[in-house]
Amino acid sequence: MKELTRPDTALVQSAARSIGLEPRAAAPGADVTVDHGPVTLTVHVDTENDDPRIIALLRYNGTVTAADYVTALVAANAVNSAPCAPHVFLSAPGGEPLRTVLAPGENTSAEDAAPLDVTARLVFPVGDGVTRGQVAGLIGTALRIGGELAEAIAKALPDSAPEITETPGRSVVRTPPPELPPLTRERVTGWFAARGVEEVPFDEETETVCLSMDGTPVDIILADPEQAVIRVAARVPATGEPDPGQLLHVCNHANALSTTAAVCAVQQSGEWWLVSRVGVPVAAGVSDTQVDAVIRTGVIGAGSQLKAVLRQV
């Protein structure tokens, strides 16, 4: 098993180079930035809280304005509903959450021209340390999500697409080999058994641990060896037909504020559902303390995000 180490700028830069990328120069302690075609990746090491983590932020390099808000909202919600559980949100420049729905035609021309940021966030728990392969896996997964985000926004808003859509060497991004034990059913059920929960239902067909929290279904999905997903879902209360634009706006506002889970709105059989998910890249394996962080912060984060949105709809 690879030796675990505390992440820093040098480790992040080394991890990026190991999968064929060339990050910008960065001073010790600074964030690491990678230019990658239609997106720019920034990796931040946050070890100042009780749950240290590495945060990957991807910014879409195209031009999106307030006049595009509703169209971009629909595209972002579609990306957030993808199986890999990305965390995409629209904001004012610098990440400032948007308080109201920006409807086209209801603002002045200057207000319609105000720029918006389109960002994807991916978080990896540090636990008692990380390997270079884990950081490389985080970066690789983040760039894959960034590519899906850029494609979705450019398709919805063709005029927003950046002039530069390809980066030299972009196709050589490599998947790192596993360096720690994989996140398996046995490790997840063992985590619950250690806390007195002996019977943990498991769906063999979907490779999902099926739980319940205060009567709400909670799923830990292990089907993708590169990405574990914690999912919590609830039906939107039947208080009349919800305004889809307002519903997506409430989800987006919550996603801009949350550092863990992303919630999206999904319509099934004429009913609206809210699905809150946390996705964690696990291709390079996870340590025992990371298993703890993935389950604990994932379940709490997804559940809290869902409740926050339900209170507003």
Domain that holds residue 284: 9-310
User: For residue 242, is it within any domain?
Assistant: yes
User: For residue 45, is it within any domain?
Assistant: yes
User: For residue 189, is it within any domain?
Assistant: yes
Average pLDDT over residues 139-164: 91
User: For residue 3, is it within any domain?
Assistant: no
In the Cβ-directed half-sphere of 99, how many Cα atoms lie within 13 Å? Answer: 0
Compute the mean pLDDT over every residue in the chain, rounded to the nearest whole number.
Answer: 89
Q: How confident is the model at residue 215 (pLDDT cuts 50, 70, 90)?
A: confident
Measured in residues, the chain has a length of 313
Count of domains observed in the chain: 1
User: For residue 4, is it within any domain?
Assistant: no
**Residue 82 has which token pair?**
């993808």
User: For residue 1, is it within any domain?
Assistant: no
**Residue 121 has which token pair?**
């966030």
What pLDDT was estimated at residue 169?
A: 39
CATH number of 33's domain? 3.30.1460.10
User: For residue 103, is it within any domain?
Assistant: yes
Q: Give tens-digit pLDDT for 266-301.
A: 998 888 999 999 999 999 999 999 999 999 999 999
Q: Give tens-digit pLDDT for 48-72.
A: 888 899 999 999 999 999 999 999 9
Please give the residue that has the higher pLDDT: either 165 or 23: 23
**Residue 280 has which token pair?**
């964690």
Decide if pLDDT at 11 tops 80: yes
